[in-house]
Chains A and B, each alone.
Chain A
Amino acid sequence: MKILVAVKRVIDYNVQIRVKDDNSGIVTENVKMSTNPPDDNAIEEAVKIKEAGKATEIVAITIGDDKAQETVRKALAVGADRGIHVKADGIIEPLAVSKILKAVVEKEKPDLVFMGKQAIDDDCNQTGQMLAALLNWPQATFASKIEIKDKSLEVTREVDEGLETIEVNVPAIVTCDLRLNEPRYASLPNIMKAKKKPLDQMSATDLGIDTKPRIEQIKVEEPPKRKAGIKVANVAELVNKLKNEAKVI
């Protein structure tokens, strides 16, 4: 089985983001970037499947500017066999991303495509489902457990009411939840080795995909701030405030 894993470079999850003064977007200069967290789970799962002898090759792909390559290199350092970097600048909406991935899937012919369920920057939660639509493949979204069967996967999905189990035939798209596994760290020797692994470069234009945004971002603002609260001295004061001041109990 061959697995394609899509990874995205985003502002690190620990960074407190800042809105640009002209309200045109978020400050990304001199800000720590890293792999979108659930994409790390996607890579980890692919590597585990390969280690279990159920996958033969893992290809990591990212779409973005030159620096996005770092994200593929990191995937190579934790166990992907080769990388693809599709160069594209500016905001690439999930619809365009899924069209690029479709073009790559048609060339690479993977049996499975893994990615995180949601990117923590735009919080869209769309790409996997859109790719599944364009390929007319099954989609197993928000996966917290994957069991490989002969020609199918049994996937446990995290849904609002609890857990749901579905079976999808291969080829399929899986979007990964943070609870799917515990992503490993890349060791220094593996980071060195990853530098020698093959990394193909191409552009969205090479693939014939128009990445022009369809959605106009009119402005980006800071959300309204909560007014500062107070510290109470003890539980009795807390209950008194809730009862008589906030009047919520």
Chain B
Amino acid sequence: MSVLLIAEHNNKELKPFTLNVINAAKQIDEDTHVLLIGHNADSVAKQISEVSGVKKIIHVDNAIYENYVAENFVPVILKNAESYTHIVSAANTFGKNLMPRVAANLDTSQISDIIKVISNDTFLRPIYAGNAFATVKSNDPKKCITVRPTSFDPAPSTGGSAEIVKGEASEEYSLTKFIKKEEIKSDRPELGTARIVISGGRGLQSGENFKLITAVADKLNAAIGASRAAVDAGYITNDHQVGQTGKVVVPDLYIAVGISGAIQHLAGMKESKVIVAINKDGEAPIFSVADYGLEADLFEALPQFLEELNKLNTIQK
């Protein structure tokens, strides 16, 4: 029995969440191998080889893997899948796009978005936007699994010394073409891994008003999140969305500002360690999950919040 994990990277660096998925894979079986598909990604191969617990890396390099196109990646995964019992990747837009195409080719019923490994065939996963947890057992000989990264600690990025072997490229899939990726660069911590997240909702009333959120985020070194309503209204870009169809975050501190707390939003943040809600509607459902609720007009509360933070001698980074 062994696990084949599909690495997510940008040809320069491993995406941090891959470390969390490696940890989940190790809980399924200690014999965890990583498949790295990319172009000129030797530095990534080296980086993975140092991750504690990785036993082997299969590195497939070709210009057609410069950009991530599932239709190109899947034949490589299938070619390597034979000797493995489990194929795993992250349950983010990378893995969600990729894994079902692998699973259907293998005639396997995929288990998506696991949050706990119970045994090598039984897993816990949230359903109905996290309002229920299902314990499910796969009876397929080969199991395809996506892992919710925030539910697992990252594997230590040092201490390993896995061997790197070269794998073969497959033929290019000509019917899908990558055109461009508009990546929003920011100096802030990444939303998925930040220790503190401050999110704004429809209550902000405009994109311009998000500067109130930004000011607090700067002070706390926090990532900025948003409700779907705020993204739909064009206040902020989609990569900030937290919720059932956006990102799932589990920071130490989550501050929800002007967010009513629809179940779809709660799905993305209710596992946070400490939740603060600032909302002028005292009946808003967000208060039902908040450790600290402040019933107040956000346009007054946010500047005051910043002022109070400025009074503190130290702020944890």
List the interface of chain A (C-beta within 8 A of B).
Answer: 11, 13, 16-17, 19, 26, 38, 93-95, 98, 117-118, 120-134, 137-142, 144, 154, 157-169, 172, 177-179, 213-223, 226, 229-232, 234-236, 238-239, 241-243, 246, 248-249
B289 with A130: CB separation less than 8 A: no
List the interface of chain B (C-beta within 8 A of A).
Answer: 69-71, 74, 92-94, 96-105, 107-113, 122, 126-140, 173-184, 192, 196, 220, 228, 231-232, 237-239, 244-245, 247, 252-253, 263-264, 270, 273-276, 282, 287, 289-296, 301, 304-305, 307-309, 312, 315-316
B110 with A123: CB separation less than 8 A: no
Least CB distance from B224 to A in Å reads 14
- CB contact between B179 and one of A98, A154, A230 (< 8 Å): that residue: A154
Task: A94-B109, A217-B136, A248-B273 are known; give 4 further A-B pairs, CB within 8 A.
Answer: A11-B128, A133-B101, A231-B287, A239-B305
Instruction: Name 17 interchain pairs, CB-CB below 8 A, sorted by A.
Output: A125-B96, A126-B112, A133-B103, A133-B105, A138-B173, A141-B96, A142-B93, A161-B181, A166-B177, A167-B177, A214-B140, A219-B134, A229-B275, A231-B282, A231-B287, A232-B292, A249-B316
Least CB distance from A218 to B in Å reads 4
B176 with A139: CB separation less than 8 A: yes
The distance in angstroms between the C-alpha atoms of A118 and B108, with both chains bound, is: 18
The distance in angstroms between the C-alpha atoms of A166 and B228, with both chains bound, is: 24
The distance in angstroms between the C-alpha atoms of A41 and B134, with both chains bound, is: 28
The distance in angstroms between the C-alpha atoms of A103 and B228, with both chains bound, is: 36
Q: Write the chain B residue with the least CB distance to A161.
A: B183
Least CB distance from A63 to B in Å reads 15
The distance in angstroms between the C-alpha atoms of A121 and B132, with both chains bound, is: 10
A125 with B112: CB separation less than 8 A: yes
Measured between beta carbons, the chain B residues less than 8 angstroms from A221 are 132-133, 135
Q: Write the chain B residue with the least CB distance to A95.
A: B109
- CB contact between A158 and one of B93, B107, B180 (< 8 Å): that residue: B93
Q: Write the chain B residue with the least CB distance to A228.
A: B288
Least CB distance from A181 to B in Å reads 11
